[in-house]
Copies of this chain bind each other. A is one copy, B any other.
Amino acid sequence: MKPVTMAAVPRGFRFAAVNCGLRKPPNLDLGLIVADKPAVAAAVFTQNLVQAAPVVLSREHLRAAASRIRAVIVNSRNANCATGPAGDAAAAATAQEVARVMDCAEAQVLVCSTGVIGLPMRVERIIAAVPHLFQATTRSPAAFEGFARAIMTTDTRPKWAAGRCRLGGRPVRLLGCCKGAGMIHPQMATMLAYVVTDAAISTSMLRRALTTAVRGTFNSITIDGDTSTNDTLMVLASGEAGNPAVGTLGADYNRFVAALEQVCHSLALQIVSDGEGASHVIEIEVRGASSDSAAEQVARTIAGSPLVKTMFAGADPNWGRVLAAAGRAGVKFDPHKTNIYLGGILTCRRGVEQPFDEAGAHNRLLRNFVPVVVDLGGGGGKARVWTCDFTTDYVHINASYRT
């Protein structure tokens, strides 16, 4: 991952991070994004029925502020989930304090938390830190990287990605960061992602772009099938690039979506490759299905199978596992027309084994990135999802988490 350069930082935003005492110093545990003027915001949140207090609050604030946002504050270590009325009050008090020091409306502040579920929030530590956190904000690569580090929990490295495009002839910057689900610690398994851009774009177009970009990126990765209680992706657009505001579909919109998609793609794959204990990124591509959604269902079933994921941990070209997982996906296809490629090697042709070089296939599966293609030989439906392999490290860490 390349360092962030000054030229890559979108105009109109400042960043900061501190240790406020939720984690052991000097670990950063509180980050802030500030928009100099109200930025257009769009967000997607977890679909889990159990939702953390800050998720509920941020959704309300986004609506109440008509998607015009001044700040996003994020703490790690504590998810502020299953914390009852005290948790709701903690999220609200955090937004209130940020609004006070920034002199803006509370609804213009979004709040995110990630970490352990069910742990009472030491919100007084967050509130005490807010004034100097705000004072420290700057528009700089170092400040952005600090923010990216402050949101980490079980991630082994920070994750960011920069993108650019030209809208109406003006250069536009996008810069994103995220933290992964770690593939472990369901209690710490939050996916948080933030993209800031200096594009000028309407709320409805930004929402539409986010929905489009998310589908083939963040919504197409699976670590272990669990959706956390805190998952959040936010995009903020300052408009400081000075382009004619994108307000309708067209060439500018398409360029913006492509750039956003590229940033989200990079971030999503960084999450997969940092899945706890993961040694390979596995791309599952399904073709020849009756529809795209049928292809997606098959791809997700394969990607979610522990039997498939452990097979990749051992670089074992067991195509039968892939075929059997496809067969239980709940989608109609003809196994006798199905071809399976592992690491580019045809291993199953029309539903039966295609003789192949075992050692050669094993070597292909040892690579960091392993493409798998399952061609169902039916219609034109296709889909791609990404997952990681499933190693003993995953079990080790999970089995010894608290006790």
Contacts and interface: CB of A to CB of B under 8 A. Distances in A.
The number of chain A residues touching the other chain, given as a range, is: 35 or more
Contacts of A233: none
Contacts of A83: 352
A154 to B, nearest CB: 12
A324 B48 contact: yes
A303 to B, nearest CB: 12
Interface in A176-196: 184-187, 189
A377 to B, nearest CB: 13
A51 B323 CA distance: 11
Contacts of A335: 49-50, 82
A359 to B, nearest CB: 8
A399 B403 contact: no
Contacts of A390: 306, 395
A21 interface: no
Interface string A301-338: 00011111011011111111101111111011101100
Nearest to A223: B306
A7 to B, nearest CB: 41
Contacts of A392: 392, 395-396, 399
A320 B186 contact: yes
Nearest to A185: B307
A325 B226 contact: yes
A395 B395 contact: yes
Contact of A327 (B49, B116, B316): B49
Contact of A186 (B324, B336, B352, B401): B324
B391 A118 contact: no
A341 interface: no
B225 A305 contact: yes
A369 interface: no
A348 interface: yes
Contacts of A186: 305, 307-308, 311, 318, 320-321, 324-325
A362 interface: yes
A351 interface: yes
B187 A398 contact: no
Nearest to A361: B403
A285 interface: no
A295 to B, nearest CB: 15
A335 B350 CA distance: 48
Interface centre among A117, A392, A395 (most CB of B within 10 A): A395
A113 interface: no
Nearest to A49: B327
B401 A318 contact: yes
Nearest to A224: B306
A342 B352 CA distance: 46
A402 interface: yes
B82 A351 contact: yes
A248 interface: no
A399 B82 contact: no
A398 B313 contact: yes
Interface string A225-249: 1111100000000000000000000
Given A226-B328, A399-B314, A307 B84 contact: no
B225 A314 contact: no
A49 to B, nearest CB: 4
A353 interface: yes
21 contacts: A48-B327, A50-B335, A82-B351, A84-B351, A117-B323, A118-B352, A118-B353, A185-B307, A187-B324, A189-B307, A189-B324, A224-B307, A225-B304, A227-B327, A306-B306, A313-B398, A318-B402, A358-B403, A391-B395, A392-B395, A394-B395
**8 tightest A-B CB contacts, nearest first:** A314-B399, A50-B327, A117-B320, A310-B398, A186-B307, A186-B321, A313-B399, A49-B327
